[in-house]
Chain A
Amino acid sequence: MKKTILCGLFLLGSTSFWAQQKITYEAYDLPNGLHVILHEEHATPIVAVSVLYHVGSKNENPNRTGFAHFFEHLLFEGSANIGRGEYSELVEKNGGTLNANTSQDRTYYYEVLPSNQLELGLWLESERMLHAKVDIKGIETQRSVVKEEKRQRVDNQPYGSFFTEIFKRVFTSHPYNWAPIGSMEHLDAAQEEDYVNFYKTFYVPSNATLSIAGDINIEQTKKWIAKYFGSIPQGQAINLYRDFINLDDNAFLTKYSVEKSEFDQKNFMNSQNPAAQKLIKYFMSQECEIVRTQKDTAPITGIISDTIYDNIQLPALFMGYKMPSQTHPDTYALEFLNEVLSSGSSSRINKEIVEKRQLAQYAFSFNYGLEDAGIGIMAAIAPKEVSLDTLLAAFDQQIAAIKSSLISEEEFQKVRNKFENDIASSNSSIAGIAENLADNHVYYGDANRVNTLLSNYQKVTREDILRVANTYLTQDARVILYYLPKEK
């Protein structure tokens, strides 16, 4: 039976014009609010275990920027049951790999393990979710590491500050104003308590998505998930438990008016003492509330232009436009627009600005879509002898052209073919599938969007592209940054 279905799918796949591999998955919520997504495939005996926390730099206190990214570091420091430095060691010595990343909108942790180590991966991630080590020793070590990361990735990197500089000017009234790397002064100024509170607010099951893909048995996986994640307390009870393990007797008593000794050390949630039970029940019913940021649709006011002196040899031009949120329907047409402008050797910007007129070493444009808004970036690095004003004029000419007439049928078909090719390759790794499923659930409320993405691009018309060019490429409301070599 299974075989015939597979054959049928294969035929369908190879005959339909738009080839897209279908990703099957199961999704459900645990009572504590954790969303679970499971994708099963057996081609290679490996599994990707990931947890997406819906917290990014935009959720930070403006006086404590860099926290979300800092936690990405801190949460490798161990847990109540995992020693310092042991987290990564446990993964690596069992043949896995792990990493994490932080954006303005989310923090994402993942392990790719041999499939027989799935249970280990679940235990590790559940430890991180329940009672990660947030203490002064780890904070201090990771503070220095993050400072080095900033030096390496931003300060010592030619043009490395452009993201920060553009966001700062495009978003003046939204927390996208600062970059995920944040401010080192803020990290220094923060107290241990600030860090503990951040963990308590955002690292709770109801703010997380557990996405698993690979060589798994779904039934067995669900049992393990129930065991390791189902046992994580619901609502604010998780923070009651965290206080129970972190506070001393007096502090706990002062805060909750119940002695710590009334709780069952080994089986906290099943503590038999009535006062303890009452407290647990009460906090279970208290939801973990997270104040969400609002969509930012305010236009940029006028042309904001600045010069930045950097340790570079070649001057460069960076431009930023305000774009809609990534969930806005215009996103697909905007992607088309960027493809026509700068994807591939035959794109307009490459042909005209780089090859024909030789005004740039590299030139590109892309749409950086985020949850509350997006940013359109156009950039070019100029040869020494080219003035940035000439380069800017050349960009403006291209923008004027794409705003004034429909793209050609050939360009249109080319970009359609490109999307087909890209989407066919997009879900080739299980780590990628786990991440795509989680992202689509969190941002679009629809993990199945991984399967319907192509149709969204199919709907775009040449007229749509002309319309979005005119709506969003606002020449009188944009950020223009001139990067020039520092005087030596």
Chain B
Amino acid sequence: MKSLYLLLILILTNGVFAQLDRSQRPAAAAAQKINIPASQVFTTANGITVILSENHKIPKVSIDLSMGNSPKLEGNKAGLADFAGSLLMSGTQTRSKDQLDREIDFIGANLSAGATSMSLSCLTKHLDKGLELMTDVLYNASFPESEVERIRKQNLSGLQSTKADAGEMAGNATRAVNFPGHPLGEIMTEATLQNIAREDLIQYYKSTFTPQGSYLVVVGDINRAQTEAMVNRYFATWQGGPVYQTELGKGQFDKGNRVIFVKKPGAVQSVVYVTFPIDIRSGHKDQLALTVLNGILGGGGFGTRLMQNLREDKAFTYGCYSSLNITENGSWMSAGGNFKNAVTDSAITEILKEFAGIIEAQVTDEELSLTKNNMAGGFARSLERPQTVARFALNTIKQKLAPDYYQNYLQQLEAITKEDVLRVAQQYFTAKNCHIIVVGNEEILPKLLVFDTDGQIEKLDAFGAPIKEVKTADISADELIEKYVLAVSGTSSKKAALKKLKTVKSYTRISEMSSEQIPFVLTSTDYFWDGGKEASKMEMPGMVLQKSYYDGKAGFTFSMQGGREDLKAEEIAAKQKASGFIPELNYKANGMTYELKGMENINGQDCYVLYTTDGLAENYDYFSAQSLMKLRSTSIRKIGEETMETTTNYSDFKEVSGFKFAHAFSMTVGKMSLNGVVKSIEVNPKLVMTEDF
């Protein structure tokens, strides 16, 4: 202190300045030891894991309750969990929403709920009142009809505004493309939102909010004894079913780069994400090395490769970042930013270059130490928040980490080498099998073509669904059917076609079907006879799996699981509408509802889209405008509350006995996909069909 005053006096009186060599950079002083205060963990009889992290600096307590369940596929009700979460606070059996809001606000508390969680934070002195309100919501949420409709309406408007938000659209596309058929890839749309009924929400709430497998994280100005008393008083009586847990898929790994484009009219910048899934889950042994890798590439700060290259060197952007998302349900990597239209393609080139570079060669010592120090600093800084300590305890349990994982975190981080970083880069990263998501102005589209390995840029809508570009057709439905019949039969007039068709009395077709999901080949045989009767059979070696039989008036289905079931009246009626060797020919006579919807592009070919409904299923058939062959057929059938969608793609059209038949097909039924090859087709075989075929 004395010396300081002396210095000041010197400066003031003599105007003499201490000489300072400013080019000398200060060295670090001795590092302070980092202490991670211990958390306390205990479990309750009804299955709650309680984690307490005491911190008495501020007279507040926060309580976070989270469920231990895995997310479920929601299909045509995508968004159900979030919708339910946003309605939890809409009132209870005894409190209207107005009352609940008033009581929460009155104590200055924050109480919120999500799809699988609830959080309370308030001054310690208001904790009892806060918990009374929190548990009232937890046990007695009432999902009032009027609130369901209000939030539905609000969500609909929210979905509207998504269409103006490039970042949100890019996020949707990222999820949809990385995780098709996975809960992470499901996105709420106007249609799925409309499908969600109040009963679905209540059902979701009842099955999801259960004490079994749940976590209650308590942080702040409260001690162990008070916590135990609090848990005992408010949570001991909570009852619920078993927690739903399942293994989820790892995401969509592709060969080659795919450009995915989402249109945003009038955009002056594009949002670009270069992204791909990563096959690990949180708590994996490679997580730390991957985090270091991401930190060097673009995960933190200004000094990263992406930031230095795309912002500081090229000035393409305000910020270019990468993010590594490792979750319990699936993981992915993503890198990008906002780029003005003129440099969008150059930015993609540079991002891919940075991915390639970091896979090819070891990072430098400077980069490694910069990132490790940065992460170590971030670790220290994070400890300022009492929530961090509790989160460490929660992760240790949920991710089955070693009990001293966080105590040893800094040593483990220090131990990571350049070799480790290169190994995880090569194992998990790619510059050749990426999903390149671009949301922006359509004028940049031509410049994106070079990045797409198969040269087919996929276009998605704001919610990650493929865009169907429908044009008006130049012919009528009946004209289409006539052209189709001529093409299949290889004739040039309707009269000739009808004459030729009359010669077909029966036919059989044998196909082999295989699937990634099934370890053996299935054989399928189709029969057609007497101008309108049909049957089919699917077998695996030594066993019949499915059969169907229809003699024009009645029939049955047989399956391994369900046994024999006779066709119901409405099924017979539906069959009658689509009978015949070429059923389209008889649509009008048989009373099928059909309509030409327009034209869509399927795999690069313009197709007529013929919509039909037989009263049971809705069908969309796609006829090539060029060859007039049927390239695709999609059937959507409602079974109870579920809808089942089957899509079959046809190819390899070859002539058999003067008629063109597809000889290859691929089929998607729900999550299952099958590839089929036609082994033989016989027209007018000798065929005696009985129910026991």
Contacts and interface: CB of A to CB of B under 8 A. Distances in A.
Nearest to A143: B315
B502 interface: no
A312 B161 contact: yes
Contact of A417 (B16, B106, B161): B106
A21 interface: yes
Nearest to A417: B108
A155 interface: yes
B32 interface: yes
Interface stretch (B180-188, B202-210, B261-269, B420-428): B261-269
B154 A127 contact: no
Given A93-B370, A156-B166, A223-B3, A114 B16 contact: no
Contacts of B264: 311
Contact of B4 (A91, A94, A223, A422): A223
B301 A420 contact: no
A95 B374 contact: yes
Contacts of B101: 344-346, 351
Contact of A94 (B57, B97, B158, B373): B373
Given A116-B30, A122-B26, A123-B25, 4 more contacts: A314-B164, A347-B105, A384-B160, A420-B108
Contacts of A417: 106-108, 126
A486 B15 CA distance: 64
A421 B318 contact: no
A33 interface: no
Interface string A294-309: 0000000000000000
B12 interface: yes
5 contacts: A31-B8, A85-B312, A146-B318, A152-B269, A421-B60
A119 interface: yes
Interface in B304-357: 308, 311-312, 315-319, 338-340
A428 B317 contact: no
A344 B107 CA distance: 12
A141 B315 contact: yes
A252 interface: no
Nearest to B388: A44
Nearest to B100: A345
B580 to A, nearest CB: 46
A261 to B, nearest CB: 19
Contact of B265 (A89, A344, A488): A488
Contacts of A115: 32
Pairs A-B, 3 closest by C-beta atoms? A95-B377, A144-B315, A45-B32
Contact of B338 (A14, A151, A311, A384): A151
Contact of B104 (A10, A94, A219, A345): A345
B266 A148 contact: no
B17 A269 contact: yes
A92 B26 CA distance: 15
A155 B366 CA distance: 38
A62 interface: no
A398 B239 CA distance: 44
B303 A355 contact: no
B28 A116 contact: yes
Interface stretch (B378-386, B644-652, B654-662): B378-386
Interface in B155-181: 156-158, 160-161, 163-166
B380 A428 contact: no
A158 B165 contact: yes
Contacts of A226: 4, 7-8
Interface string B484-510: 000000000000000000000000000
A92 B32 contact: no
B267 A156 contact: yes
Nearest to A93: B370
Contacts of A345: 89, 97, 101, 104-105
Contacts of B229: none
A435 B33 CA distance: 26
Interface string B358-400: 0000000010011001101110110111000000000000000
A113 interface: yes
Given A116-B29, A270-B16, A92 B300 contact: yes
* Interface hub of A266, A355, A381 (most chain B Cβ within 10 A): A355
Contacts of B163: 313
Nearest to B221: A14
B12 A228 contact: no
A407 to B, nearest CB: 13
A89 B657 CA distance: 76
Contacts of A94: 28, 373, 377
Contacts of A230: 7-8, 11, 18
Contacts of B338: 148, 151-152, 156
B268 A425 contact: no
A361 interface: yes
A294 B380 CA distance: 44
A280 B11 CA distance: 14
A143 to B, nearest CB: 8
Chain B: interface size category: 35 or more
A117 B34 contact: no
Given A223-B3, A358-B153, A92 B301 contact: yes
Nearest to A32: B11
A414 B106 contact: yes
B233 interface: no
A366 B60 CA distance: 26
A424 B318 contact: no
B318 A97 contact: no
Interface in B71-86: none
A136 interface: no
Contact of A120 (B25, B59, B102, B376): B25
B520 interface: no
B23 interface: yes
A117 B165 CA distance: 41
A145 B58 contact: no
Contact of B17 (A123, A156, A267, A314): A267
B150 interface: yes
A475 interface: no
A309 to B, nearest CB: 10
B55 to A, nearest CB: 9
B280 interface: no
A189 B163 CA distance: 36
B105 A344 contact: yes
Contacts of B97: 345, 355
Contacts of B370: 89, 92-93
A320 to B, nearest CB: 22
A90 to B, nearest CB: 8
Interface in A407-450: 410, 413-414, 417-422, 424-425, 428-430
A105 to B, nearest CB: 23
Contacts of A351: 98, 101
A92 B158 contact: no
A168 interface: no
A190 to B, nearest CB: 17
A81 interface: yes
A290 interface: no
Contact of A424 (B59, B150, B374, B381): B59
A84 B384 CA distance: 32
A34 to B, nearest CB: 13
Contacts of A343: 105
A328 interface: no
A281 interface: yes
Contacts of B153: 358, 383
Interface string A127-166: 1001000000000110011101101110110100000000
A421 B98 contact: no
Contact of A141 (B19, B30, B56, B312): B312
A213 to B, nearest CB: 11
Contacts of B157: 314, 361, 383-384
Contacts of B317: 145, 148, 152
A88 B303 contact: yes
A477 B333 CA distance: 52
Contact of B34 (A45, A158, A222, A384): A45
